[in-house]
Amino acid sequence: MKDIKEVETGILDELKNTSIDASKCMQCGVCSASCPSGRHTTLNIRKLVRIAGKTTDILSSEELWMCTTCYNCQERCPRNINIVDILLDIRAISVHQGFIHPEHRAVCEMLLEYGHAVPINEKNRKKRVNLGLEELPETVHKYVDGLEEVKSLLASCGFGKLIEHTESGVTEDKT
Ligand code: SF4
Ligand code: SF4
């Protein structure tokens, strides 16, 4: 796991630029009260908005990944703050800095190898048929010639290199 102290300088500026909108927050708590994930996890979106742009600790925060991006909070915020968009930008910075959950990394590796986040196997084929679906989904599983195109698309945008650069975990929550 990457030590947050190793995070290159300038990231705080990047976070600040990403989170300018968050400075309009009046900490009313409407976002947290509207958050379905917050009822079942430690996610406190009001707190994340408060610290957005202020500390690099947010980059290794577990909470950053507990949001399901349902947009409830953003739709209800009385200050019209782009809460979820800010969160997604911070997630992107976080991954570029090498922080990623092992589970997310595994999904990315599946995508890189199979062009699909969920590889097909005998069990999944049977399940699909039992559900009345075609044995193979309308993806590279069915159109296998498309796999090389998907791989070259992922390579062209640097996705493989990005995932290689990440560690297999995030640090404990420091926010
Ligand atoms: S609803 Fe908007 S203004 Fe209120 S705490 Fe959340 S982000 Fe801040
Ligand atoms: S978008 Fe995320 S933070 Fe906002 S209400 Fe939904 S789960 Fe909560």
Which protein residue's CA is at the shortest distance from atom 8 of ligand 2?
Answer: 35
Q: Which amino acid is at 77?
A: C
pLDDT at 165: 76
List, run by run, the mean pLDDT of 10-residue segments along the chain (175 residues).
56 91 96 97 96 92 94 97 96 92 91 89 94 94 94 93 69 40
pLDDT at 9: 65
pTM (2 d.p.): 0.82
Distance 84 CA to ligand 2 centre (A): 7
Residue 8: count of CB within 10 angstroms of its CB? 8
Hey, what are 119's tokens? 């590889």
Hey, what are 54's tokens? 């202020």
Cα 142 to Cα 107, 130, 151: the distances in Å are 19, 18, 16
Distance 99 CA to ligand 1 centre (A): 26
pLDDT at 172: 40
Distance 47 CA to ligand 2 centre (A): 13
pLDDT at 89: 95
